[in-house]
Amino acid sequence: MALEEIVVTEAIAKTYFEKFQSAINLDVAIVGAGPSGLTAAWKLAQKGFNVAIFERKLSIGGGMWGGGVTWNIIVVQEEGKHVLDEAGVPLKEFKKGYYTADAICATTTLASKATLSGAKIFNCMSVEDVVLREIEGEKRVTGIVINSSPVEIAGLHVDPVVLNCKYLVEATGHDLEVVNTLIRKNDVRLNTPSGKIEGEMSMWADIAEPHTVENTKEVFPGVFVAGMAANACFGSYRMGPIFGGMLLSGEKVAEEIADRLS
């Protein structure tokens, strides 16, 4: 069979825009394809929700690919082990309660679980703002404002487009970009002790890990924070290349949003 390049073009354009069209009214928009975002997407898609991840980079996986200092092994503690077990990622016990996994295997398997469960991933797509509405006297985020990452990186003057979502999950890691934008541009209070971003603190894994899960919650109507973004928002420590908290945070945010949507 002779190959026609134009059919390849048509196949990509038509199929991509079908995928994009199906993301115009999302149940859940997740910003960031790190471990917490991928886990949340997998668990929400598994329950049948219309969920998509928007990831600025070409690659998915966030900070998980590189393990610690590019030694691409991750550590997971007892509490988070069941998430990787369920995904089918092989784990080795290093010492009682400390397990290792190959960072590449963990990243690709979580991405595979998410996409095969029906979650859509849009890589090279940056979330640059949110849509804010007043509904029955309460301000609420009802959508995301996205732009192509190459447009953002090149600083081109090109307008973004909007997608609707019932819930937004900020899983952008240390930078907490979306909530930062929300409060920089709007006179709103967050559901944090000060009403503002509390800010990330230095390394203390033992405290940071459980805090990541506790801090996974709705920080503003329609917006949940998950993963490292949760600690950056509510003011807790960083934890380095131990990933149980990230996985459990993704699992928790999926459960909480699923409860709301049902």
For ligand 48F, the closer CB: 38 or 258: 38
In 3D, which of 66, 115, 97 has the Cα closest to residue 209?
97
Q: How far is the CB of 6 from ligand 48F (least distance, A)?
A: 32
Q: The tokens 């949760």 sit on which residue?
A: 230
What CA–CA distance (Å, rounded) separates 197 from 192? 7
What CA–CA distance (Å, rounded) separates 134 from 101? 45
68 φ, ψ (degrees, to nearest 5): -110, 135
Pick the binder of ligand 48F from 45, 50, 52, 54 (CB under 6 A). 54
- Would you count residue 147 as binding ligand 48F (CB under 6 A)? no
Show contacts with ligand 48F in window 23-52 (CB under 6 A): 31-37
Show contacts with ligand 48F in window 148-187 (CB under 6 A): 171-173, 175, 177
Cα–Cα distances in angstroms (integers) from residue 47 to residues 28, 127, 133, 139, 174, in the given order: 12, 25, 28, 28, 28
What CA–CA distance (Å, rounded) separates 244 from 247? 5
Q: How far is the CB of 54 from ligand 48F (least distance, A)?
A: 5
Number of residues that bind ligand 48F (CB under 6 A): 31
Q: How far is the CB of 47 from ligand 48F (least distance, A)?
A: 20
The binding site for ligand 48F (CB under 6 A) comprises 31-37, 54-57, 62-64, 126-127, 171-173, 175, 177, 227-229, 238-243, 246
